[in-house]
Amino acid sequence: MKYFNDLKRKAHKGHTLKSLSFIFLFSIPFSAISQDSAYYSSAFNRKSDDLKMQLHILIRNHKEYPYTSTSTDVWDILKETDKDPANPNNVILLYSGRSVDAAQEYNGGAGWTREHVWAKSRGNFGTDAGAGTDVHHLRPLDNSVNSTRNNRAFDNCKDCKDVIDNGFNTGSKTDATLYTFEPRDDVKGDVARMIFYMAVRYEGEGAEPDLELTENIMSNTDQSPVHGVKSTLLEWNRLDPVNDWERSRNLIIYEKFQGNRNPFIDYPELADYVFGDSTSYVWKPEAISGIKKLSKQLKVYPNPTLNVIHVLVDAEFATANYTVFDSSGVTFITGKLSGKNTTVDLHNLAEGTYYIKVDGDLLETFKVVKK
């Protein structure tokens, strides 16, 4: 953390670090950059610890709420952020997806409770204002599942045991041998992005914990301020993309309550730049601004790939051309879509992440990883 603290001091003196431009390895379709780019502009064109430091500065000053109070507290906020769209009187439980009566706060253990996704014992911050009440990582959860999850590390189970919520198989699992918890597939990315947020937001300033990611699986008695498993969380971030539920929740927290955002929901690729394989590369989202959401008319596979990509369309588009380029805008390949399935040969390209833009009747841009 010494280097990180040095960077923080430099930032306050107006210093920046120079870096080289490249792009992260990421295999999910790239949706439109609809985020508030002005909010993140000071983090553009940075890398590694310098990028992490600037993100921390952007999100650290926010309103804090009490865990339990007669005024607005965490219970009240979760009733807004995790409201069931089909029944506004209910909340959705994180690890099961069940919809339950929002009025049943705890209810002697028979109702729902507040899950600290970054386990509050990992750093021993409890329910104190700050990390203990930051709703970016607090979610509604059944009491029994909360006890089952406890402070287990997040990882793919090997000797799997189903997690049951009131007789309902949640899809989440524990490991019978290792002290780990695997959430249901639909929220694996959500969990990862909440953990990433916490590791950037809390850097040991004042009385706050200094939270870090780890590859280790910690025991249930270990209160070190670390959480894992980092490589698994990075994988989940790629495999379970951000959805409208996450975006809506992030916006509610930002606009109605805390006044800060989760950068890893707005720009999920940041995880690789801050924690993954792309820490030596500059984050340059402005180089890919204006990219549109991959439509149902257009699909690509396999992704990642070793040599070729197939571009599959629902119908033939006589005027559809494609261009393969990198994050700096350098073009490598151009061509025309040929029928419903076009093969694009990438074997002459170096390993890395590229963008394929389809023009004409279709206007789409997507990422593809060459291994």
Question: Which range is least confidently modeled, 9-18, 192-201, 226-235, 280-289?
Answer: 9-18
CA-wise closest residue to 214 among 198, 115, 187: 198
Indicate if the pLDDT at residue 16 is higher than 90.
no
Question: Which range is least confidently modeled, 160-169, 201-210, 219-228?
Answer: 160-169
Measured CA to CA, the distance from residue 277 to residue 178 in angstroms comes to 26
Do strands 180-182 and 153-154 pair parallel, antiparallel, or not at all (unpaired)? Answer: parallel
pLDDT tens per residue, range 39-88: 998 999 999 999 999 999 999 999 999 999 999 999 999 999 999 999 99
Indicate if the pLDDT at residue 24 is higher than 80.
no
Measured CA to CA, the distance from residue 196 to residue 198 in angstroms comes to 5
Concatenated DSSP letters of 296-348 = TTEEEESSSBSSEEEEEESS--TT-EEEEE-TT--EEEEEE--TTEEEEE-TT
Within the chain, what is the greatest distance between any pair of CA atoms? 65
Percent of the chain at pLDDT > 90 equals 60
Domains along the chain with CATH numbers:
58-263 (no CATH), 292-370 (2.60.40.3080)
Question: Which range is least confidently modeled, 18-27, 141-150, 328-337?
Answer: 18-27
